[in-house]
Structure 1
Amino acid sequence: MQRQRCLPLQSAAFARNYPVPETDPTKPAARFEDLRGILRYVPQFRQRVFVIAIDGALMHQPGFASLLQDVAVLQSLNIEVVLIFGARAQVRYLAGLRGVTLSSDDGMGRTDAATMEVAVDAITRQTSALMADLTALEMPVAVSNALAVHPTGVIDGIDFEFTGRIERVDTETLQVLLKADIIPVLPPLGYDSRGTSLRLNSDAVAVEVAIALRAAKVIFVSEAGLSTPDGARLAQLSVADAREIYRRKDPRHDINLLSKLRYAALACEEGVPRVHIVDGSQDEALLSELFSNEGVGTMIHADDYQQIRPAHSSDIPALLSLMQQSMDDAALVPRTREEIQARIQDFFVLEVDENPIGSVAVHSYEEDGQKIAELACLFVRRSHKNRGHGQKLVAYAEEIARQRGCETLVALSTQAFRFFEEKMGFQVTTPSSLPTPRREKYDKSGRNSKVLRKALR
């Protein structure tokens, strides 16, 4: 029998207000079982702080137990987790039972006395239910009052009454819990110096705690995800883009998502490297977002998380592994470890969140007083094709060639010459355009590659 959650006699009524989507029993549930993929990320995440904020409505979904199990997985990997939850759904529900008209339901607007009474009751019951679930999973947890708050006061002539604002985070208390492998749980409530209870917004709590703890990530597990105008997943946003969507109050996204964008931008500007917004109704969304290069949600980043950098000798095994498929398909000339090592200064690696997914090489020649560059060894991992990574690598190679004083960039291709022509502005030319050393190798190879050329000046 499923245990009743948070509010007595609420299961049927809550289901009417927050219906659970039907599932297809003939379709197997997606499982995130690529252990090797997870282990690749573990070294960079170990002993880092992740602040996870879960929307309250998700606590009534069938997948909530699995979500908590995913949190347990993170802790088992020596990731320090702080757990925060929202309560908008619970506050709305209890207000409906009591016939109370809410002054606001999310801890952002004015909270009058009647709304505050409902919020305290709903959040207290919700906290108790969450603690019971976490305890059932044998996860050591503790509810903490680590937030020093004060009343928001008067804004634009409106007294916000029992709405609070975070003044300080008691990081020492939180760090003691984290170092003891205890997960701190922070409800969206705070207490001022007079002992008055104040309603808080859970998104604000998550970000203030993350900034204070210098967290590596904030993960908002939301009721829904962010999408583009055509309905596709919005995979990543810069801080400026997040602020612009919030400023426009994009009607495709409700106030809940807009709030997360607002606070995500603040977090990144204050030093949190990454903020993620994932659709909590998706199975294993939390692990899939964190332990795959492209994720399943939306990542807001302060810097460019896609980085092209010079290759190092330590990259050679990964490069050979990534290139193998292209070499097997005869799209790339076979290269040995020794050949790459001999020209390692010419190779550049494209990373996504510190994982190599592609590469390009730029070889330089000088002939008859002219400097010519060759773009070589261009490849992108198959799982990341058709996402613009190839164009970025070619554009980067062009810039490297210009910095070296080259006037012409050439490329040889047996299968991707249309890409160079149609997307990158190259023109098919003859082998005579190649510098003499490269022309000799071309003739010996017998590959009959197309020769492409692009003027850089």
Structure 2
Amino acid sequence: MAESESIIKPTARFEDLRGILRYVPQFRQRVFVIAIDGALMHQATFSSLLQDVAVLQSLNIEVVLVFGARAQLRYLAEKRGVTLSSDDGMGRTDAATLEVAVDAISRQTSALMGDLTALEMPVAVCNALAVYPAGVINGIDLEFTGRIERVDLESLRVLLKADIIPILPPMGYDSRGTTLRLNSDAVATEVAIALGAAKIIFVSEAGLTNNDGSRMAQLSISDARDLVRNKDPRHDVNLLSKLRHAAIACQEGVPRVHIVDGSQDEALLAELFSNEGVGTMIHADDYQQIREASSSDIPALLSMMQQSMDDAALVPRTREQIQGKIKDFFVLETDGNPIGCVAVHSYEEGNRKVAELACLFVRRSHKNRGHGQKLVAYAEDVARQRDSEELVALSTQAFRFFEEKMGFQVTTPDSLPAARREKYDKSGRNSKVLIKALK
């Protein structure tokens, strides 16, 4: 390739590096099982994907690699004129299909070993799966299709401890030495469960989308199972298989499973080292949560809000002012990182109890994703728990949001409790006053 034609990736920005470093402590010495669809090995982005794997290993993340073989089986079968009994390692594998599978998977293994060695990554093909014939299912003898009985943890841990990446092909051998075809999604799932992995990352030929074509960002176990049960027509059997196994993995203790579109350059790192990611995350626990703020959150809150305070969208607040009202502040975090906040202040005037929603803020990079609505709804619940009859909000720039999205109505400053009205008059901000009945 001529020098003028060379592809040069843009230099990483310092804020990108800081974003990655924020995740390193929680990922270090954790196991990530990465399962790559075979079709991706023939795409231009595959080299970049392997470089991303090298980055993970350099950060002391223990990586196990699994790969699929459906595309290679189809190609080789067509070339040889063989009709496949199945191509996914789940259906029936007859003798002719097994012969093609063994050749295709062996070639893939050799190619992958070569590519990783060229990147100076120590790797080893590992026979760590004890398998058995799947047998007869629904009256059909699956012949040379296998299921995983157990995972040899000791051999995997020896390799990981030595900083060697284990490669697990979608193929195994039973107690009689018979070769059996396996499904790569099942391999990744069983290995991750056995190792107590922090994540499975399915690097797929395509990503999961909503009805409008937008990315499906996250799913609970039950959501994933619903998509599989209903055989969602937007997604092919390959993606539905990953959803099925993702739900199994999460149910059995793997905290998070990611499905990313491997055709996107740098999709692996972008999914792992950003709050919102670029793929779909299936989770067993609450990925997003709103919690009470603590004193240790104050620096992050001030940093997040600084630009909005400079733009007069938020009332300026000092560290001391936030600390004095810290029990009124609540933080929205994603994967342990604060991305928004809200405060609920209470006023009691005679028999009237009023709460004020204040300091509503969502980090710029996370706007327009429903986080603001979630924080407001949470503030309403807090106000109700305090027996407040009304919730008021003061806004100079976001009053349309409160009206149109959250059911508030514009009112006059006279609706404010006397103590709050005094502060309103002194501020000179001339904010819109909005109110919502809670009872």
Q: What's the TM-score bracket when you normalise by the shorter of the two chains? A: over 0.9
Any conservation in 2 of the 1:410–1:451 contact (CA below 8 Å)?
yes
Residue number among 422, 426, 441 corresponding to 2:408 in the alignment: 426
2:414 pairs with 1:452: no
Could you say which residue in structure 1 is the equivalent of 2:212?
A: 230
Could you say which residue in structure 2 is the equivalent of 1:409?
A: 391
Deviations 1:218-275 (A, max 9, x none): 1000111111222222112222221122122222221111111111111111111111
2:26 pairs with 1:44: yes
Any conservation in 2 of the 1:226–1:297 contact (CA below 8 Å)?
yes
2:226 pairs with 1:244: yes
2:387 pairs with 1:391: no
Q: How does 1:79-118 map to 2 (within 5 A)?
A: 79-118=61-100
**How far apart in 2 are the matches of 1:204 and 1:272?**
14
Give the letter for the 1:202 counterpart. Answer: S
2:330 pairs with 1:348: yes
Shift of 1:352: 1.2
**How far apart in 1 are the matches of 2:114 and 2:6?**
32
**How far apart in 2 are the matches of 1:193 and 1:439?**
80
Q: How does 1:50-89 map to 2 (within 5 A)?
A: 50-89=32-71
Shift of 1:27: 10
Unaligned runs of 5+ in 1: 2-24
Shift of 1:29: 5.8
SS at match of 1:47: coil
Deviations 1:189-242 (A, max 9, x none): 111111111100000000111111111111000111111222222112222221
Shift of 1:32: 5.8
Could you say which residue in structure 1 is the equivalent of 2:319?
A: 337
2:287 pairs with 1:305: yes
Structure 1: which 4+ aligned runs deviate by more than 6 Å? Answer: 25-28
How does the TM-score come out when normalised to structure 2? 0.96
**How far apart in 2 are the matches of 1:229 and 1:439?**
47
**How far apart in 2 are the matches of 1:130 and 1:79?**
20
How does the TM-score come out when normalised to structure 1? 0.92
Could you say which residue in structure 2 is the equivalent of 1:5?
A: none
Shift of 1:31: 6.9
Residue number among 257, 281, 289 corresponding to 2:263 in the alignment: 281
Could you say which residue in structure 1 is the equivalent of 2:362?
A: 380
Could you say which residue in structure 1 is the equivalent of 2:136?
A: 154
Any conservation in 2 of the 1:32–1:284 contact (CA below 8 Å)?
no
**How far apart in 1 are the matches of 2:68 and 2:307?**
46
**How far apart in 2 are the matches of 1:50 and 1:141?**
15
SS at match of 1:338: helix
Give the length in aligned residue pairs: 434
| Percent identity for Structure 1 against Structure 2 | 83
Could you say which residue in structure 2 is the equivalent of 1:192?
A: 174
Change (3 A) 1:339 1:378: same
Shift of 1:303: 2.7
**How far apart in 2 are the matches of 1:138 and 1:366?**
68
Give the letter for the 1:329 counterpart. Answer: D
Residue number among 156, 163, 168 corresponding to 2:150 in the alignment: 168
SS at match of 1:278: strand
Shift of 1:436: 2.0
Shift of 1:371: 2.0
Deviating more after overlay: 364-373 vs 185-194: 364-373
